[in-house]
A and B are shown apart, each in its own frame.
Chain A
Amino acid sequence: MAKLPTRKFDVVIVGAGGSGMQASLRLSQAGLNVAVLTKVFPTRSHTVAAQGGIGASLGNMSEDNWHYHFYDTVKGGDWLGDQDAIEFMCREAPKVVYELEHFGMPFDRNADGTIYQRPFGGHTANYGEKPVQRACAAADRTGHAMLHTLYQRNVAARTQFFVEWMALDLIRDAEGDVVGVTALEMETGELYIFHAKTTMLATGGAGRIYAASTNAYINTGDGLGMAARAGIPLQDMEFWQFHPTGVHNAGVLLTEGCRGEGAILRNADGERFMERYAPTLKDLAPRDFVSRCMDQEIKEGRGCGPNKDYINLDMTHLGADTIHKRLPSVFEIGHNFANVDITKEPIPVVPTLHYQMGGVPANMHGQVVVPKNGDPNTPVNGLYAVGECSAVSVHGANRLGTNSLLDLLVFGRAAGYHIIEFAKQNAHHKPLPADAGERTRARVAELDASTGGEYAQAVANDLRRSMQHHAGVFRTQKMMDEGVHEIAALRERAKGITLADKSKIFNTARVEALEVENLVEVAQATMVSAAARKECRGAHTVEDYERGADDPEFPLGRNDRDWLKHTLWDSATNSLSYKPVRMQPLTVESIPPKVRTF
C-alpha cells in the first residue's frame, strides 16, 4: 500500500494553546520551518478559559521574591515536585511576564502604571507567614488575554498553523527516536504524515475523563494517548486537582481570584469554616486542601441547599464596583449558569475536576524523558512535551493557582530555545520507517468498517461516570480497586465503538471516536496509578491512609519513607514503575519535607 501523503517540517507542534504558541513563536522567529497542528482555531484552545492570573514575584504590591514562590510551590505540591525545575520556573517567572507585557498583554494596572497583582491560594510572603499578591491579572480573563496575545505575536512571526487538524499517532523509528506524527485533516477526512526533526506535544490536559469537569470538550488527552500508544510511560497520573469553586450542577469554573479579591466560603450555618482548618491562609489555602475541607463540611451535614450538597461562595461584601472591575466574567457566569446576582447573593459551588498534575515525563528543557540503561530521565530523541500534557514536574501532587499559566510561558519558551539549538546541530531529517502511518491507517480503517457497535460518547460517558465515582476528591482503596476493573472493562468495550456516520467531510463523530481511545489511556493510567499509591499526598487523598497532623510516622497520611517517588505507568503492560523525586534545586538549599499545614 502506498505511504500516506507526507509533509516535511523542521518542527511539528501538536496543540496551539499557551505552551505550544510560546514555543512556535521562538521557532518561527528563528527562521525554522514549523507547523502547528491544532484541533481548534488557536484562540479557542483551553488556555483561553484561565481566569485568575500568572504567578510571578514581581513585588509590585509588597515585598516578594522568587525564593518565597519556590517555597510555596514545593510545599503546595506536597514535596512531589522536582525542586530543580521548580527553581527554574520561579526564577524565570518575572522575565516571561515582562516579556508577555511587551508583547501587548492587557494586564490590569496599579496607579503607578505597574502590573496589578492579586492574592491567590497558597502564595505567601516570607515562607508561609502571610498571603502575598503574586498573581498578575487581566481582570478575570487572564488566559483569554494571554492566548490572544500569543496568537497575535505568532501572526506577526508568520507561524504556519494547520487549523482543525487532529494529530493521531507518534512515529518512532527502530532506535526509538521520534520522527514525526500522523494527522487527520478534519475538513477533508484525509490522513497525512508530518515528517519532522522534532515533534512537540502541547495538547493540554485530559480533564474530560471526569463527568463533572471545568475542562473544555476538546480536553481529551490526545498527546497523552499518543505517547502511551508509542510506549512512553505517563507520570504521576493519580494526581488530579479538584478546584474548590466550580458552579454547582454546571461545572463552570469560578476563579480562585474571587477569594483572592476577598470572597468567603460559607457552610449552611453561614460560618466561614476555612478559619477552622487553615488559621493563617483561611480561604486561600491551596486547592486540594480547600476542596477536602468543603467535602468534609458537606459530609458532616453542613452543606447548603435543600440537599445539603454544596457550599456558598459569598462575594456580596466586595461591593458591585470591585466585582464589575475585577471579576466581570464571574458576574456573567453567575447570571448565565446559576441565575445568581453575585453582588447580592452567594453562589453555590462544589469542588470540580480542573487540572491534571501528571503527564508525559519531561525535563526542564521540555525534552521527554524515559527510564533507559539505569537512568530514569533519558531524553527521547526528537520528542518534547510542554504545558498541562507534560509532567516536568513542577506541580508535584497539587498545583498552586496561577502556576499553570506560568508553566506554559516558562517551559514553552525554554523548549522553543532548546529545539533551536538542537536544530543547529541536526541538519537532516532521520528517515521515516517503512511502516510509518500504518498503525494510524489501520485504526481509522477499522472505525470506517465498524458496524453494529456503540456510539463513542456512550462509552465515554460511562468512563467519565466511573472515574468520577472511583477517583474523586476522597478516595478509598476499595473504590479504586473496583475502578481498576471497571476501566479495564471499558477499555474492552471501547474496541466495539461504531462510527454511524462514515462521511469524509468534517466528521466530528470520527474525531470523537478517536478521542475516546485517548481518554481510555488516561483513565487507565489514572486508576491504576491511584490504586497503587498507598498514602495521602496532595490531591491524592485515600481514607484508608488518613492520619492526623501530629502523627509521628506519617503526618496527614503522607508516607515519605515509601512514597516520595514519581509513578510511571506503561500502557502496553498496564504496569507501574517508579523513579525518585529530584530534591536538589539548582542553586539553593533543598526544602526538606515537613508537615503541611496552613
Chain B
Amino acid sequence: MSKRSFQIYRYDPDKDTRPQMQTMQVELDGSERMLLDALIKLKAQDPSLSFRRSCREGVCGSDAMNINGKNGLACLTNMRTLPDTVVLKPLPGLPVIRDLIVDMTQFFKQYHSIKPYLINDEPPPEKERLQSPEEREELNGLYECILCASCSTACPSFWWNPDKYVGPAGLLQAYRFIVDSRDQATSERLDNLEDPYRLFRCRSILNCTDVCPKGLNPAKAISKIKELMVRRGV
C-alpha cells in the first residue's frame, strides 16, 4: 500500500461560488495500473468527485483531462509515469460543467461543420465499392480518431477562436474524407475550409500531435489540406 496525493479541480455550480483546487489522498495497493483506476478509488471515498469514463481501454474517448499540465486519457495514463503529486484539471478552453467534466458542444459543432460523412452521389454498386489497399492505406492515421478532444483543447488557436477555427480534431476528419478515394466532394470540402479562420488559424504549434493519446498526427493532416488548397490555387 502506498498513499498518493492528488490536486483536483473541483467545481459544483449547485453549491460552489467558484472553482478551487482540492488536495485528495488515496491508498493504492498496486492493482491500480492506470490513473482511471485511482480516480475510481478516489470516487469511492468521495462520491461527489465527477468525471466521465466508459471503456477504460482508450477507444471511447470519454476520460480526456488535463494531467499534470498535459491533455491525455486517464485510462491510458500509467500511474508509474506520474509524479508523486498528480494534478488534474478539466480540458482547457471549454466551459466546465462540473469538476473534470467539460461542455463539449463547441468541439462537436466544429466536427459536424466539416460534413463528417462520405459524399458520393453515384448510385452504389450491388456489392462493395472497390478500393485498392494503397488507397485504403491513405486513411490510416486518420479514421482512428476517438473524438476525445485532447488535441483541440491543447491548441492555442482553438482557445482563441473555438467558434471560428475548426481545430485539429475536425480538420483531421476533414482530411480523412478528402483523401478517401470513394469521396467525391473534395472541392466542396476545400471551399468549406477556405477562410481566414477555419483552416488557416493553424499556426503549426503542434500541441495537437504532441498530446494525441492515439498517436495520430493532426498537424500533418492540416498541412496536407493547406497544400491541396495552395495547389488548386495555382
Contacts and interface: CB of A to CB of B under 8 A. Distances in A.
A506 B143 contact: no
Nearest to A154: B117
Which has the most chain B C-beta neighbours within 10 Å: A107, A217, A332? A217
B101 interface: yes
B136 A106 contact: yes
Contacts of B78: 336
A46 interface: yes
Given A148-B143, A153-B117, A500 B53 contact: no
Contacts of B126: 98
B108 to A, nearest CB: 8
A23 to B, nearest CB: 18
A144 B78 CA distance: 23
A360 to B, nearest CB: 22
A108 B132 CA distance: 9
B117 A217 contact: no
A479 interface: no
Contact of A217 (B54, B112, B147): B54
B1 to A, nearest CB: 18
A501 interface: yes
Interface stretch (B7-15, B155-163, B198-206, B217-225): B7-15
Interface in A1-44: 40-41, 43-44
Contacts of A156: 115, 117
A113 interface: yes
Contacts of B53: 217
B18 interface: no
A2 B181 CA distance: 56
A40 B61 CA distance: 10
Interface stretch (B20-28, B42-50, B186-194, B226-234): B42-50
A48 B51 CA distance: 20
B44 A506 contact: no
B54 A503 contact: no
A141 interface: yes
A110 interface: yes
B61 A44 contact: yes
B182 interface: yes
A509 B104 CA distance: 21
Contacts of A141: 59, 144
Interface in B83-129: 97-98, 101, 104, 108, 112, 115-118, 120, 124, 126-129
A111 B133 contact: yes
A44 B54 contact: yes
B131 interface: yes
B31 to A, nearest CB: 8
Contact of A505 (B52, B58, B97): B97
A216 B54 contact: yes
B60 A252 contact: no
Interface residues of A, number: 63
Given A49-B55, A49-B60, A506 B47 contact: no
B44 A501 contact: no
A218 interface: yes
Contacts of B60: 40, 43-46, 48-49, 216
Contact of A101 (B31, B98, B128, B147): B128
Nearest to A39: B54
Given A506-B97, A509-B48, A336 B136 contact: no
Most buried by B among A94, A101, A107, A457: A101
A397 interface: no
B47 A40 contact: no
Contacts of B136: 106-109
Contacts of A126: none
A112 B130 contact: yes
A384 B162 CA distance: 40
B56 interface: yes
A457 B44 contact: yes
B59 A49 contact: yes
Contact of A41 (B104, B182, B183): B104
A275 interface: no
Nearest to B31: A249
Contacts of A94: 127
Nearest to A252: B57
Contacts of A456: 47
Contacts of A501: 47-48
Given A41-B147, A217-B54, A250 B132 contact: no
A49 B47 contact: no
A187 B67 CA distance: 23
Query: 10 tightest A-B contacts by CB?
Result: A104-B118, A113-B130, A501-B48, A152-B117, A509-B47, A44-B60, A102-B124, A503-B14, A101-B128, A156-B117
30 contacts: A40-B52, A41-B147, A43-B61, A44-B62, A46-B60, A48-B55, A98-B126, A101-B129, A106-B139, A107-B128, A107-B136, A109-B131, A113-B130, A114-B127, A115-B128, A141-B59, A152-B118, A153-B117, A156-B117, A250-B33, A252-B57, A336-B76, A336-B78, A455-B44, A455-B47, A457-B44, A503-B14, A503-B48, A507-B50, A509-B48
Interface of B: 12-15, 31, 33, 43-44, 47-48, 50-62, 76, 78, 97-98, 101, 104, 108, 112, 115-118, 120, 124, 126-133, 135-136, 139, 143-144, 146-147, 177, 180, 182-183
Interface of A: 40-41, 43-46, 48-49, 58, 94, 97-98, 101-104, 106-115, 138, 141, 144-145, 148, 152-153, 155-156, 187, 216-218, 249-250, 252-253, 329, 332-333, 336-337, 455-458, 499-501, 503-509, 512
